[in-house]
Amino acid sequence: MLREHEVRAMFFVCGEMATDNRDLLREMAADGHVVGNHTWSHPLIPTLPPSRIRDQLGRTSEVIEKTLGEAPLWYRAPYGAWNRHSFEIGADLGMEPLGWTVDTLDWMRPGTSSIVRRVLRGAAPGVIVLSHDAGGNRSQSVSALRRYLPELLEDGYRITVPRR
C-alpha cells in the first residue's frame, strides 16, 4: 500500500525482532522509510533502572546501525510510557523521542472499520497515527490502511516523515 501510493512511513522496530529480519529493515530503508528504535524487547520503560533502559535502547540502535549503516535518530517508548531516564539516555544515544496523536488501538483488533474511523476522525495537519505491524495478526491494520490512506490522500493530506 505504501509503495502503491508512494508514501513513506516511520517504522519503530524492536531489536530482538530486527536481528532476525535485517532484510526487511534494508527494504524499509531502501523504500525511503525511516527506521526508528522501539527498544530491544518492548518493556515498560518506567519499571526499569537506567542501566536496563540504556541496554534496551543501545542494543537496538546497534542492530539498526549495523544493518543500515546509520544509527536511528528517533525512538518510541513501548506503551507511550516515557520517563526522565529514557529521555536522557535517548538523547545521549543521539535520538529524539517521538510519540503519536492518534492511536488506532489496532493491537486490540477492534475491527477494520473501527480503525478507519479512529484515523479519519483524528486526521488533521501534523497528526501522527500509531499502527502496528508486528505482535500478532495485523490483517485488520492492513485492511484499514487500504481504506483510509487513499481517502486521506484524496482529501489533500500529504504524508510526511523526516528524511532520515
Say which CATH number the domain at 83 has: 3.20.20.370
Are 29 and 90 members of one domain? yes
Q: Is 72 inside a domain boundary?
A: yes
Are 88 and 117 members of one domain? no
Number of independent structural domains in the chain? 2
pTM of the model: 0.94
| Residue 16: CA count within 13 A, CB half-sphere | 9
Are 2 and 49 members of one domain? yes
Q: Which domain covers residue 79, as residue numbers? A: 1-99
pLDDT score of 164: 62
Give the C-alpha separation, 53 to 150, whole Å: 38
Q: How many residues does the chain have?
A: 164
Give the C-alpha separation, 111 to 31, whole Å: 28
Are 84 and 116 members of one domain? no
Are 1 and 28 members of one domain? yes
Last residue of a domain, one of 77, 99, 121: 99
| Run means of pLDDT, 10 residues per run, the chain, 164 residues | 95 97 97 97 98 98 98 97 97 97 95 97 95 90 97 94 78
